[in-house]
Amino acid sequence: MNLRTSIRTILKAYVLPLAWIFAISIPIMGLVRSIFAGVFVFAGLLVFNIFIRRKARVQKSRSRLTYTGLSFAGRFAWVFALAAAIIAPLFLNGYSLDVFTSVLFYTMLALGLNLLVGDLGLLNLGYIAFYGIGAYTYAILSAKFGIGFWGSLMLGGIAASVFSLIIAVPTLRLKGDYLAIATLGFGEIVRIVLNNWDSLTNGPNGIMNIPRPSLPWIQLSTGIGFFYLVLCFIILQVYLLYRIKRSRFGRYAVAIRENERAAEMVGINTYKIKTLYFMLSAFFGGVAGVLFASKQMFVSPDSFTFIESVYVLAMVILGGMGNIAGVMAGAFTLVVLPELLREFVLYRMLIFSLLLITMMLFKPEGLLGKRT
């Protein structure tokens, strides 16, 4: 390559994009921040050209669906994580404990959503609605009918499943993108209804004085007790999810995700399986909602906005679609990281969105992703 062409290449690959981003940023960002934007893009392009251009797409040859049991290292990791989750709360202050409890809520949600996005490859952009339905089910049942936490727990999940059926039955026949949009619409409708049906939901003010759960011999109303309660639910959930994944249902799902026509050709009722998964996914969301309401002792529509759905989706994507441990790690990261970076609170969502975009560019299957 001679000098002229190399200069031209550098101009085209780096200088032009940098200058362009700088220029269009000025009206919105002002001069100083635009310089940062330009530099940022420059750095991004460097990384892009180093990693993406040269990346030969090496595929892992071995990928089995068959149950083989966990490796020793895998077992160790699980035991370690569990032990950490059990011991850590004993040393945390109230604030940190709240953060970690919220990790647990998001973990439940992300694992629930993963059933759709990761296992079936279906996008649900209104997932948080099921969380909301669960939460409000408990709030309303306890306020109007005096039904307690344990009674509401299942009902919250079931309510979410029933609502999911309303949206799933008609929309699951739609093409992927349309399904995403329809679920987005559904999520918004739920939120608007919660916001406006004053007689039932008390509108934007929400419902207060939701009771904490209680058990005769264990203290659950404290932060720590509650944390362990949710932890138990997660252990149960993870166990169920793994068993489903290793069962024929898990394979049906993989088949549908990989090739729907072929799945039908081997006799799988794809529509039925998708509906089942949709309901199960909503069920987990609903149960998580009941837990959430009882932790907050208060619910309002503000907790169930579209961006929350995107947040949960990002956890699924970040950790590796379809990979249970990865999704849990994703939830952990996306809850804890913003807490650590509190000085950057203004830039939080900006970083978050860049993360989404770059993930899709570099590693669409997630950081820990192996898709099966």
Partner 1 sequence: MDNNAILSIDNVSIMFGGLKALDSVTIDIKKGEVLCIIGPNGAGKTTLFNCITGFLRPSSGSIVFDGSISLAGMKPHKIASYGIYRSFQNLALFTNISAVDNVMIGALKRTQFSYSIADMFFHTKKFLTRESALRQEAENLLEFMGIAGKKDHKAGELSYGERKLLELARGLITKPQLLLLDEPAAGLNPTEKTELVRAIKKIREQKINVVIIEHDMRFVSDIANWIVVLDYGKKLAEGLPDDVKKNTAVIEAYLGTH
Partner 2 sequence: MRIFIQQIINGLTTGSVYALIALGYTMVYGIIELINFAHGEIYMIGAYGGLIVLTLIGTSHTSNIGIVFLAMGGGMLLSMAYGFTVEKFAYKPIRNSSRLSLLITALGASIFLQNFVMIGQGASDKNYISLNVLNATFTLYGIAITLNQILIFAVALVIMLSLDLFVNKTMTGWAMKATSQDPITAQLVGINVDTIVSLTFIIGSGLAGIAGVLVGFYYGIVNFSIGYLVGIKAFTAAVLGGIGDLRGAMVGGLLLGLLESLGAAYLSSDYKDAFAFIILIAILLIKPSGLFGKRQA
Burial letters 11-26, b for 16+ CB under 10 A, else e: eeeeeebbeebbeebe
Kindly indicate which of the ranges 103-111, 238-246, 287-295, 309-317 contains the residues binding partner 2, using the contact rule CB under 8 A.
309-317
> Of the candidates 228, 213, 362, which has an alpha carbon nearest to the alpha carbon of residue 297?
213
Binding mask 215-254 for partner 1 (x = CB under 8 A): -------------------------x--xx-xxx--xx-x
Is 62 a binder of partner 1 (CB under 8 A)? yes
* DSSP annotation string for 51-88: IITT---PPPS----S-----HHHHHHHHHHHHHHHHG
Helices (H) then strands (E): counts for the chain: 15, 0
Is 265 a binder of partner 1 (CB under 8 A)? yes
Is 356 a binder of partner 2 (CB under 8 A)? yes
Give Cα separations from 28 to 23, 25, 31, 53 (angstroms): 10, 6, 9, 32
Is 170 a binder of partner 2 (CB under 8 A)? yes
DSSP state at residue 222: S
Residues 42-101 interacting with partner 2 (rule: CB under 8 A): 48, 52
352 binds, among partner 2, partner 1, none (CB under 5 to 8 A by kind): partner 2
Residue among 255, 314, 329, 335 that touches partner 1 (CB under 8 A): 255
For partner 2, give the closer residue by CB, 14 or 48. Answer: 48
Rg (CA), the chain: 23
Q: What whole-number distance in Å separates Cα of residue 63 and Cα of residue 35?
A: 46
Residue among 270, 275, 296, 305 that touches partner 1 (CB under 8 A): 270
For partner 2, give the closer residue by CB, 222 or 353. Answer: 353
Is 313 a binder of partner 2 (CB under 8 A)? yes
Q: What whole-number distance in Å separates Cα of residue 304 and Cα of residue 191?
A: 7
Q: What whole-number distance in Å separates Cα of residue 3 and Cα of residue 7?
A: 6
Size of the site for partner 1 (CB under 8 A): 33
> Of the candidates 318, 314, 291, 315, which has an alpha carbon nearest to the alpha carbon of residue 303?
291
Q: Which residues contact 196 (CB under 8 A, 6 or more apart)?
A: 203
Kindly indicate which of the ranges 82-90, 167-175, 208-216, 322-330 contains the residues binding partner 2, using the contact rule CB under 8 A.
167-175
Instruction: List residues binding partner 2 (CB under 8 A).
Output: 17, 20-21, 24-25, 27-30, 33, 41, 48, 52, 117, 121, 123, 125, 167, 170-171, 174-178, 180-182, 184-186, 188-189, 192-193, 196, 306-307, 310, 313, 317, 346-347, 349-350, 352-357, 360-361, 364
Residues that bind partner 1 (CB under 8 A): 59-67, 240, 243-244, 246-248, 251-252, 254-255, 258-259, 261-270, 371-372
